[in-house]
Structure 1
Amino acid sequence: MEGLRVLELYSGIGGMHFALKESGTPAQVVAAIDINTTANQIYKHNFPDTPVWNKTIEGITLDDFNKLSVDMIMMSPPCQPFTRLGLQGDIADPRTKSFLYILDLLPRLHKQPQFILLENVKGFESSSARERLVQTLMGCGYIFQEFMISPTTVGIPNSRLRYFLIAKISAENVSIQTKSKVFSAAPHPAQSEVPSDLSPPRPNPDQPVEKTHGGQVLFKLESLVEVQRKVSQNNDLSVRQLQDFLEPLTEENLKHYLLAPKTLLRYGLILDIVQPECRRSVCFTKGYGRYVEGTGSVLQCCRETEIESVFTGLDQLSEKDKLEQLLKLKLRYFTPREVANLMGFPPIFSFPKSISTAQQYKVLGNSLNVVVVARLLQLLLSEHFGCSDGGEELSVF
């Protein structure tokens, strides 16, 4: 295959560009477009030879798109109109305007891109925006497949359930849909992912902190279902352990990532605590490091202390004693490099020195999993794409 000319819309920090390289696809990103100046700075730092356009997509004319003459469009439109925690404004949300603009331009391009890849949050699959997308693709003669995929599918211990669509111009130029439904590539139905735009499931507020159920002590504010789900995930040997994604930290560096005493006291009972041997972690969001609830897992560094011994009966202690107990676990945030590792970014990815830790967490939380996208690109560019029946398993996963 000759090198593809690729346009990266809503390019962020370059996750899709890295996925192109990871997939082994001969390609040139002819333009990366985003309005986030911090993300653009990071993108340019990692891909200095790629033109980065710091402008709104609506500000790019049809003539501009035609001049680019691209073979593939990769995009991750704003997710806020579709998240379950948001207002779910869908196509009425002003942030959807740029995506609708793209859908309007697509049929009018002199040369329609042969391939399209789109990523968004869970919730997009049932949106009016998705209906507009499907109608546009079918009208332009694309065949396509849709998926709900989490990185656990490719052996990465992080839950980040996302909607993906891959599309290809049909050789027969017929308007058909390859799959009649969104395909779930999750390996085990019993291990359903927590929607990544949500906080972890909250228990009944009347449930006591410590409760015995069939020999299982619920020592934190967790439902029995939540505990069982975590145990099930940690027993899935197809997923790697977190320790494979951690970086060595000196005691001095470690201090920068330890949870503050006031954070421990206020949020200790709802923290998602993991150990290096775990095969799971919850989705890291853009608020990680600044906010605690529902923004990502924290790591237990002191393995000599049993977590049950800390939390059992914790609600009966004074504030001073509570803190003393919680500090025994030596809980810390994952570093930005570790979050990047769990999102599939290669070792060569780096941040400019001017980007603060808070900014690093924020842009990572807005990004995507590189390995998942790379696998989808391999499927999209394979000779068999669009040829199998709807019930066939996906070989790339």
Structure 2
Amino acid sequence: MEPLRVLELYSGIGGMHHALKESCVPAQVVAAIDVNTVANEVYEYNFPHTLLLAKTIEGITLEEFDKLSFNMILMSPPCQPFTRIGLQGDMTDPRTNSFLYILDILPRLQKLPKYILLENVKGFEVSSTRDLLIQTMENCGFQYQEFLLSPTSLGIPNARLRYFLVAKRQSEPLPFQAPGQVLMEFPKIQSEYPQKYAIDTKQKSEEKEIQPNICFDGSTQCSGKDTVLFKLETAEEIERKRQQDNDISVQMLKDFLEDDIDMNQYFLPPKSLLRYALLLDIVRPTCRRSTCFTKGYGSYIEGTGSVLQTTEDVQIENIYKSLPNLPQEEKITALSMLKLRYFTPREIANLLGFPPEFGFPEKITLKQCYRLLGNSLNVHVVSKLIKMLCE
């Protein structure tokens, strides 16, 4: 088999390239393109022999694309226009322009690629940009399938639900194709339980997310029918976490943690402990879950990723139940007993499936590492999709 000539768009720190290597599909990345200078430094550090174009995609002409003579595109366009915490500007967001340019230029290429794989945030599947993507795929003669997948389905203890599209230029449908549906699992499982793992795109249905009843006074009762046992968690939410930790098909976090490193720079500062105590998603090394790490991890607390409790003999429930009756200084002392720390960049990279040889240049700061990883993707999920698409 002739090696595939792969064009990597929005290459970032090289998550797609690592996934391609892991898939073992014979391939060569003929060019990677990204405008982020810090991400490009990391990419070059890990792939010094790959042609990296530090320019905007709109700045590349049709002729220049044709000269690259690629037959596969891997891409992860900006997700900000579609994320649920953003403005959801969709096509009106200027950050969508480069992707709209790709969709415009694709049908005009001298030779259409055989394969396309795209990753984006959950929410993309209900956007007008997605509708234009699908229309372009159909007009160009691609067979395609959409997915919403999380690494937990591969036994990785990290929730990172993302949209994926795989497309192949051929006349017959893909063996796993389910027209009009976004599959919620990899096809093998989907074929066994089609109703459980698919949603109809026509219904534009949203994944249910459990929202805790918020109670800022530290009391155990809140408005509504649920009782908050400790922290800002309902009984329902605690049960969900308990079930996740008992799911032996998922690995424990301890398999992804670093040994023998100085943890002092990763401990949460006392001010953060006090201010955000009720909002933290706290996990232990034996847990089989963690929340999605975002680009704000390490700088912001709420909703940016889990923190790790490093003392095994301290009962978190007891600490939290004691807080309402303690003065401020003693609250900090009590919370400090948990020895809560951030995950290190290497640990997050492990959870995202980056190989041991992946690294950051020395001049990249801790904050930049978190930001770049938060913008990246899960290598194992993409690798499996590439294998599936090319087999």
The reply to whether TM is greater than 0.5 is yes
> Which residue of 343, 348, 361 corresponds with 1:334?
343
Shift of 1:378: 0.8
Contact kept? 2:58, 2:98, Cα under 8 Å: yes
Contact kept? 1:148, 1:162, Cα under 8 Å: yes
> Which residue of 348, 363, 366 corresponds with 1:354?
363
> Which residue of 260, 265, 268 corresponds with 1:256?
265
Partner of 1:218: 229
Query: Is 1:237 matched with 2:248?
Result: yes
Partner of 2:82: 82
Partner of 1:92: 92
> Which residue of 298, 303, 315 corresponds with 2:324?
315
Change (3 A) 1:207 1:134: farther
Q: Deviations over 1:213-246 (max 9, x none)?
A: 9998711111222212111111111100000000
List aligned pairs for 1:21-100, cutoff 5 A.
21-100=21-100
Shift of 1:280: 0.1
- Cα distance in 2 for partners of 1:229, 1:173 equals 38
Q: What SS does structure 2 have at the residue aligned with 1:18?
A: helix
- Cα distance in 1 for partners of 2:65, 2:225 equals 62
List aligned pairs for 1:1-397, cutoff 5 A.
1-171=1-171, 179-185=179-185, 201-205=211-215, 209-211=219-221, 218-250=229-261, 253-382=262-391
Q: What SS does structure 2 have at the residue aligned with 1:265?
A: helix
Structure 1 segments of 4 or more deviating over 6 A?
A: 186-190, 197-200, 212-217
Q: What SS does structure 1 have at the residue aligned with 2:130?
A: helix
- Cα distance in 1 for partners of 2:126, 2:324 equals 42
Shift of 1:3: 0.6
Q: What SS does structure 2 have at the residue aligned with 1:312?
A: helix
Contact kept? 1:199, 1:293, Cα under 8 Å: no
Q: How many residues align?
A: 372
Contact kept? 1:211, 1:219, Cα under 8 Å: no
In terms of mean alpha carbon deviation, does 285-294 or 307-316 score higher? Answer: 307-316
Change (3 A) 1:171 1:198: closer
Q: What SS does structure 1 have at the residue aligned with 2:160?
A: coil
Shift of 1:249: 3.1
- Cα distance in 2 for partners of 1:120, 1:152 equals 17
In structure 2, list runs of 5 or more residues that go unmatched: 198-206
Q: What SS does structure 2 have at the residue aligned with 1:313?
A: helix
Change (3 A) 1:208 1:264: closer
Contact kept? 1:141, 1:173, Cα under 8 Å: no
Contact kept? 1:210, 1:313, Cα under 8 Å: no
Contact kept? 1:289, 1:358, Cα under 8 Å: yes
Structure 2: which amino acid aligns with 1:170? Q
What is the aligned-residue identity percentage? 58
- Cα distance in 2 for partners of 1:257, 1:201 equals 28
Shift of 1:204: 3.6
Contact kept? 2:218, 2:323, Cα under 8 Å: no
Structure 2: which amino acid aligns with 1:224? A
Structure 2: which amino acid aligns with 1:203? N
Contact kept? 1:7, 1:70, Cα under 8 Å: yes
Q: What SS does structure 2 have at the residue aligned with 1:2?
A: coil
- Cα distance in 2 for partners of 1:270, 1:305 equals 19
TM-score, structure 2 normalization: 0.90
Change (3 A) 1:270 1:200: farther
Structure 1: which amino acid aligns with 2:220? E
- Cα distance in 2 for partners of 1:99, 1:225 equals 40
Change (3 A) 1:206 1:56: same
In terms of mean alpha carbon deviation, does 333-342 or 227-236 score higher? Answer: 227-236
Shift of 1:132: 0.2
- Cα distance in 2 for partners of 1:173, 1:320 equals 64
Change (3 A) 1:63 1:178: farther
Contact kept? 2:218, 2:324, Cα under 8 Å: no
Q: Deviations over 1:34-84 (max 9, x none)?
A: 010000000000000001111000000000110011010000000000011
- Cα distance in 2 for partners of 1:217, 1:131 equals 41
Change (3 A) 1:239 1:111: same
Q: What SS does structure 1 have at the residue aligned with 2:263?
A: helix
Q: What SS does structure 1 have at the residue aligned with 2:156?
A: coil
Q: Alignment RMSD, CA only?
A: 2.5
Contact kept? 1:149, 1:184, Cα under 8 Å: yes
Shift of 1:202: 3.9
Q: What SS does structure 2 have at the residue aligned with 1:182?
A: strand
